[in-house]
């Protein structure tokens, strides 16, 4: 077999552990030097390929690459950029193949969510169509946990742990203050369409009546009167009410509780501000003192409180992608498969990309309690293994030591640029 | 000497480490059983004394008391409740003495900030006036770091570490996303009058140009045009701009950037919402995509990322309070004194309460850089030692194991209740 180079890129919203997958890809590729020449990382995802901005990851020291395992966010830059359909914009695909040819790239590893699974599929299709062989392997990543055919999506477990730990701690603050001051605390977490992240807040409640007493899911239409009544009951019973709210909650008619006018290129409404909106409803109806927090980026970059299970799985899916490529696989996503036993176990598998894309995994209704404000034992059983274990980064002078990369670019070989 | 009981209570906004002080008090008192009978904790601060709601801390197991060292928030409940002047409401003080007499309380330990230092002083005054001997010792605690005559206020170091780590992580998220999406991130932190907490965000910037590129201090009047221009310059230079904003920032004329109408009993304006306000200014002027987070309670309850130095000092000030009481001290606050050497060292001392109360320690101007948007080397030198070391709580099933107390109350001895 001839030796060919690999392209690796990171896509979409980042996570605390996506670099662990990068680490898995690079370290595993280096053990297959007979088959894989070098790993080039796209600067800012697929855009790096279009612009021929390729970072030579082999110019980084082995210790820097190893440090990726404990470094949050996307070390090579990410992008929110979706390729058009092949028929709609063939030039884009011709450009990609041109760049891949110029750099002898035969392996395409794309690390992302649904959108990038779709990109990976298209790359494998155009490769066949244009007669330039590329094996495209998708490496799953999304805090949204909405990829199907995999037990979970790497990145989710760490957000889940962050949210569970944070609401546990903040609820203790609230409980201590409630006698003379704050009676309601609201933590807003990510989750536009699915309540996976909000559900993780429920893990903090280990005994009956433990906070958070209310979780608001995008899956459950928001009913203001019912909500206010539930807050009141909890304050009367416990002295306080701790709430986790997904950013995407909305009324029965689909109107979001609040939304800014800002939209991004993917036509995602940029939400945020659900927590202060809920707080002002409570203030207006019940006159309770409140506090609210919006975790935003903190939740998905919090490598300092990452789940060890998540880190391990993230590394493993990266490593497996390389092994699958070496084995000749193409157009597949690496999957995590949960063992059948009582004790949590997992192995890796693969799923054809054609089956993965354009389908989102919803939070099952039986994971949400009857009243719509909590999680069930089934949810707990599914979620708990994903937040197991701590995997602390090294510290220096009180702050984590995260990787600083050289990000040295491979000299361009194509004269023409490309407008992205 | 006769054996007398001790009263201990927690006041004001809680911290990640105030319970470490409680642990220090209780464990140390137990080593002086010849002098201190039992330690009674006030349920919800001084209110517990007024209502005769005293928790017998000796009914908790030694392992529960030990676990207080790693448990955030106020385990016995806190309060926002300020005693009136003695002349204005003598009944309040008579009631306190009545309760202390009924339970043979001779030691008063109050764990809080400026307000509770004042309460401690009044207790020692009324004790003398009424001829019932009580030694009042104030144990410093406040995330605001505004107590004078002590190197720092226990609780601050852990918030500082949380803010530094969080902005480091979120800035990496931002840097990864900025090419095609978010260009500005704003983290709102606590700090009504002083920028100590916001300043701690500057510790994340270890090399020239590192984020956060902008810190907004309450000490520096907010100038919208200048700020917007600074954001623009940073985005042009670095591709993104990471911002830490204190909740208390205001315009030159004193108008806060935003404030809700909610006020608490202490006439503190309840702020919050600076981050979204700044975000909408940026959107309006520069059309950059943004993200914002409001840390709120998360920052002061984040025991999972507490500073080991802060934990150690918090325990030590609690322990010292008991030793000072045994030594006959009265009307003093335990202080932390910084050693003179290059390497950080500290010892404990004491300051007369009369000198401590009603004076707040401002962030020195020379801690803020010339342009008003960053911290200086002097600030760094002062702050860095306070966030040193990690002191992780134990975990079970992925979540920290924090103390659960029985909180058993001592039977009341006084028939009459008291309206608080």
Residue of B176, B179, B178, B165 whose CA lies nearest to B244: B165
Residue ranges in chain B whose pLDDT is less than 50: 260-271
For domain B156-304+369-387, give the CATH number: 3.40.50.460
If one counts every other C-beta atom within 10 angstroms of the C-beta of residue A287, the result is 10
**How is residue A326 written in tokens?**
């070496």
Q: Using DSSP, state whether A56 is helix, strand or coil.
A: strand
Q: Which CATH architecture has domain A156-302+369-387?
A: 3-Layer(aba) Sandwich (3.40)
Residue of A295, A74, A262 whose CA lies nearest to A190: A295
DSSP letters along A251-266, please?
Answer: BTTS-BS---S-B-TT
CATH 3.60.15.10 fits A4-142+305-358+391-400, yes or no: no
Q: Quote the pLDDT of residue B273.
A: 86
Q: Quote the pLDDT of residue A2.
A: 83
Angle at A46 between CA A93 and CA A351, to 5 degrees: 85
Residue from the list B80, B293, B302 with its beta carbon closest to the beta carbon of A180: B80
CB B113, CB B153: distance < 8 Å = yes
Q: Quote the pLDDT of residue A1.
A: 58
Residue from the list A77, A172, A384 with its beta carbon closest to the beta carbon of B397: A384
Backbone angles phi, psi at A187, to 5 degrees: -110, 120
Q: What are residue B8's DSSP bridge partners?
A: B41, B109
Pairing of strands A214-216, A241-246: parallel
Q: Quote the pLDDT of residue B167.
A: 98
Interface probe with A: pick from B180, B402, B420, most Cβ of A within 10 Å: B180
Length of chain A: 420
Residue ranges in chain A whose pLDDT is less than 50: 260-271
Backbone angles phi, psi at A41, to 5 degrees: -95, 135
- Our CA-based measurement puts residue A331 at a distance from the nearest CA of chain B, in whole angstroms, of 26
Residues of B in contact with A165 (CB under 8 A): 304, 399-400
If one counts every other C-beta atom within 10 angstroms of the C-beta of residue A369, the result is 15
Residue from the list A80, A293, A303 with its beta carbon closest to the beta carbon of B296: A293
Residues of A in contact with B303 (CB under 8 A): 169
How many CA atoms are closer than 13 Å to the CA of B354, on its beta-carbon side? Answer: 3
Cβ contacts from A onto B, under 8 A: 222
pLDDT in tens, B18-64: 999 999 999 999 999 999 999 999 999 999 999 999 999 999 999 99
- CA distances (Å), origin A419, targets A47, A52, A100: 10, 11, 17
Q: Using DSSP, state whether A166 is helix, strand or coil.
A: helix
> At a CB cut-off of 8 Å and minimum separation 6, what does B65 contact?
B23, B26, B27, B57
Q: Quote the pLDDT of residue B70.
A: 98
Q: What are residue B291's DSSP bridge partners?
A: B185
Q: Using DSSP, state whether B263 is helix, strand or coil.
A: strand
Mark yes or no for CB contact B176/A10 under 8 Å: yes
If one counts every other C-beta atom within 10 angstroms of the C-beta of residue B381, the result is 12
**How is residue B234 written in tokens?**
């940073």
Q: What are residue B216's DSSP bridge partners?
A: B245
Residue of B59, B65, B134, B128 whose CA lies nearest to B99: B134
Mark yes or no for CB contact A402/B78 under 8 Å: no
Q: What residue segments make up the domains of chain B, in order of their start?
A: 4-142+305-358+391-400, 156-304+369-387
Residue from the list A81, A296, A305 with its beta carbon closest to the beta carbon of B304: A305
CB A173, CB B14: distance < 8 Å = yes
Cis amide prior to A212 (ω within 30 degrees): yes
Residues of A in contact with B71 (CB under 8 A): 172
Mark yes or no for CB contact A298/B296 under 8 Å: no
Interface probe with B: pick from A297, A381, A402, most Cβ of B within 10 Å: A297
CB B213, CB B373: distance < 8 Å = yes
Residues of B in contact with A172 (CB under 8 A): 14, 71-73, 301, 402
Residues of A in contact with B262 (CB under 8 A): 283, 289-290
Catalytically active residues of A, by annotation: 144
Backbone angles phi, psi at A117, to 5 degrees: -65, -40
């Amino acid at each position: 077999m001839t030796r060919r180079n690999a392209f690796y890129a990171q896509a979409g919203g980042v996570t605390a552990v996506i670099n662990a997958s990068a680490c898995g890809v690079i370290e595993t590729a280096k053990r297959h030097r007979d088959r894989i020449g070098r790993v080039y990382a796209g600067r800012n995802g697929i855009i790096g390929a279009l612009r021929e901005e390729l970072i030579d990851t082999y110019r980084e020291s082995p210790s820097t690459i190893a440090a990726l395992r404990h470094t949050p966010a996307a070390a090579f830059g990410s992008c929110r950029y979706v390729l058009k359909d092949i028929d709609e914009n063939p030039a884009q695909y011709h450009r990609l193949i041109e760049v891949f040819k110029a750099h002898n790239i035969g392996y395409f590893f794309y690390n992302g969510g649904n959108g990038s699974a779709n990109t990976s599929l298209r790359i494998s299709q155009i490769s066949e169509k244009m007669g330039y062989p590329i094996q495209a392997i998708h490496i799953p990543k999304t805090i949204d946990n909405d990829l199907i055919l995999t037990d979970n999506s790497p990145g989710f477990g760490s957000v889940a742990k962050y949210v569970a730990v944070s609401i546990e701690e903040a609820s203790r603050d609230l409980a201590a203050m409630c006698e003379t001051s704050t009676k309601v605390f609201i933590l807003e977490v990510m989750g536009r369409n699915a309540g996976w992240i909000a559900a993780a807040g429920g893990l903090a409640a280990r005994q009956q009546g433990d906070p958070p007493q209310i979780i608001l899911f995008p899956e459950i239409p928001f009913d203001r009167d019912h909500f206010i009544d539930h807050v009141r009951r909890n304050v009367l019973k416990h002295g306080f009410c701790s709430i986790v709210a997904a950013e995407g909650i909305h009324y029965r008619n689909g109107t979001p509780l609040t939304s800014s006018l800002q939209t991004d290129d993917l036509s995602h409404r940029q939400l945020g501000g659900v927590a202060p909106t809920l707080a002002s409803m409570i203030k207006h109806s019940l006159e309770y003192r409140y506090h609210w927090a919006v975790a935003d980026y903190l939740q998905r970059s919090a490598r300092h409180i990452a789940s060890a299970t998540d880190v391990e799985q993230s590394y493993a899916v990266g490593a497996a992608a390389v092994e699958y490529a070496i084995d000749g696989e193409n157009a597949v996503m690496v999957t995590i498969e949960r063992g059948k036993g009582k004790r949590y176990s997992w192995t890796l598998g693969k799923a054809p990309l054609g089956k993965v894309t354009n389908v989102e995994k919803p939070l099952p209704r039986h994971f949400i309690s009857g009243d719509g404000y909590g999680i069930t034992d089934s949810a707990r059983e599914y979620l708990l293994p994903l937040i197991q274990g701590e995997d602390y980064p090294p510290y220096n002078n009180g702050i984590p030591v995260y990787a600083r990369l050289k990000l040295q670019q491979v000299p361009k070989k194509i004269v023409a640029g490309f407008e992205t």
